[in-house]
Amino acid sequence: MSQIEEIANVFKLLGDKNRLTIVALLKEKELCVCEIVDILQTSQPNISQHMRKLKDGGLVKETKKGQWVYYSLAVQDKPYLTEILNQLPSQKEKLNSLVCEDNDCCN
Each residue's pLDDT tens digit in the chain (107 positions)? 799 999 999 999 999 999 999 999 999 999 999 999 999 999 999 999 999 999 999 999 999 988 888 999 999 999 999 999 999 999 999 998 886 544 456 65
CA distance 26 to 29: 5
Q: How open is the CA angle 63-33-23, to the nearest 5 degrees?
A: 80
CA distance 68 to 74: 19
Q: What pLDDT was estimated at residue 104? A: 57
HSE (side-chain half, CA atoms, 13 Å) at 5: 2
Domains present along the chain, CATH in parentheses: 3-87 (1.10.10.10)
